[in-house]
Structure 1
Amino acid sequence: MANELRLAVHRGGGSIDPEKNYELRAQLSPLQLPYSRVQRILRECELNERNQNTYSLPIDYARQLVAMVCKVRTDNLSALKLRLATLLRQGKARFFNRHLFNETGLIEATLPSKSSLSFVDLNQTLRTDALWCKATDGVITDLEKGTVLFKCRPQDLREVTDKLRQCSYKITHTEVGHCPNKPLVDLTDRQMTRYQEFRKQILQDEDVVKIYDNVRAGSS
């Protein structure tokens, strides 16, 4: 349990505040541990995280088949890159920036009562709300679950998040991430299988927080 909390703090940006660290909040909600023990573990985590920094590593996979940005959190970037080097060689990948991504504020949320609207009307409402909240875009990610994604300039992330709360959206996650600035890549079934295995191996390193790529979901 202590290791799961440590990883949640680490991969969630280092904060021990569940309101700021959604990875930690997800771990704490079903946890059945005494409050005093949880607080002691989190204080230890906070001390361990003081020397950690967050970096973005651009990766070119399979000789320019896929572009990736790997978000990592570590106190030794050189050692991390050495650990990943073997995996990159196996996937014909390398640390290389093709400048195919823009840094973007990302806000995941669930819909307010507007979810009773039709799909077309809901899309229009999202665009109106995005405009009022200074977001650059707002899209439905899962109509059945009522989840949406707003994008904004990184420097506007806090302001846009606050305005969305005023519009009764329930915020589930915020981050400064990376979005492709060119058309997405379509992979064959075979290519997708190999790429997903490569992603899985990279994500097994505990210092790897998240991977962004330019692959179209469900491509074949």
Structure 2
Amino acid sequence: MYGEKIPSTTSVCSFPLRSKQAQFDQDLSEELILANELRLAVHRGGGSIDPEKNFELRARLSPLKLPYSRVQRILKECELSERNQHTYSIPMDYGRQLVAMVCKIRTDNLSNLKLRLASLLRQNKTRFFNRHLFNETGLIEATLPSKTPLSFEEFNQTLRTDALWCKATDSAITDLGKGSVLFKCRPLDLQEVTYKLRQCNYKIINKEVGHCPNKPLVDLNDRQMARYQEFRTALLQDEDVVKIYDNVRVQ
């Protein structure tokens, strides 16, 4: 009921029927939009409805101000719809071997997805092909909150020391101002390295088994980069394409 009853034995005040319907339609529309956003976060985050395991979902839930029961109902429905989904890492070759890629895909029908993408791939001279230019790698994005600003040299030294103690194979500063860093490790060591980084006071933003190039990165000119970015954007429009790894040097 959307009418508000006034404590009286003689009169009752309520909103007109049109206002009731408009409010109902708005609430329903907002919930449908929210449900789709949460479903996409669950889907692209690996299918888990646990925010501690699904970083896509955790990022989407953090600004929400909705009743707990409503969110849980939506997430349970998402979990049911994800039961038949599988995650694949599909190698691709863009622009006649100009760029090597690995697409992380989550779908219940891989053949259908490939048919759906066929036109886009054909237009961009792209094919499903493995040139064996990537290695599976544990990737951990984190931040190191610091009370006092560190210089690049100091931060880099701290990073190297912590990476050695945590059994990470590599580390890099991604944003000095925000204290953002990236650690790499063997896939089997991902959980252990993550645990040790938390002990060193790092805040874990994301962790995954991803793909890193094992050959030198490719340099694209401005025109090539613009076309490639357009292709990447179009590819990521498909909700089953979760993430793209490539061997392109960031300009």
Quote the offset at 1:32 in angstroms. 2.2
Partner Cα distance (2:147, 2:215) in 1? 32
Larger of the two Rg values belongs to structure: 2
- Residue 137 of structure 1 contacts residue 152 of structure 1 at CA under 8 Å; is this kept in 2? yes
Q: Tell me which residue corresponds to 2:35.
A: 2
Partner Cα distance (1:122, 1:33) in 2? 39
Task: Calculate the aligned-residue CA RMSD, in Å.
Answer: 1.0
Mean CA deviation greater in 6-15 or 26-35 = 26-35
1:127 and 2:160 are equivalent in the alignment: yes
Q: Tell me which residue corresponds to 1:153.
A: 186
Gaps of at least 5 residues in structure 2 are 1-33
Q: Tell me which residue corresponds to 2:118.
A: 85
Partner Cα distance (1:48, 1:92) in 2? 34
Q: Tell me which residue corresponds to 2:229.
A: 196
Quote the offset at 1:114 in angstroms. 7.5
Higher relative contact order (CA 8 A, sep 6+): 1
Q: Tell me which residue corresponds to 1:172.
A: 205
Partner Cα distance (2:84, 2:160) in 1? 41
Q: Tell me which residue corresponds to 2:53.
A: 20
Q: Tell me which residue corresponds to 1:162.
A: 195
1:74-113 equivalences under 5 Å are: 74-113=107-146
Partner Cα distance (1:32, 1:128) in 2? 40
Deviations 1:50-71 (A, max 9, x none): 1111001101000000000000
Letter aligned with residue 50 of structure 2: D
Gaps of at least 5 residues in structure 1 are none
- The equivalent position to 2:97 in structure 1, one of 61, 64, 70, is 64
Partner Cα distance (2:244, 2:205) in 1? 19
Q: Which of structure 1's runs of 4+ aligned residues deviate more than 3 A?
A: none
Deviations 1:100-141 (A, max 9, x none): 000000000001338633211211111111011010011100
User: TM-score, structure 1 length as denominator?
Assistant: 0.97
- Residue 5 of structure 1 contacts residue 24 of structure 1 at CA under 8 Å; is this kept in 2? yes
Aligned length: 218
Deviations 1:117-176 (A, max 9, x none): 321121111111101101001110000111000000001000000000000000010011
Q: Tell me which residue corresponds to 1:143.
A: 176
User: TM-score, structure 2 length as denominator?
Assistant: 0.85
Q: Which has the higher strand share?
A: 1
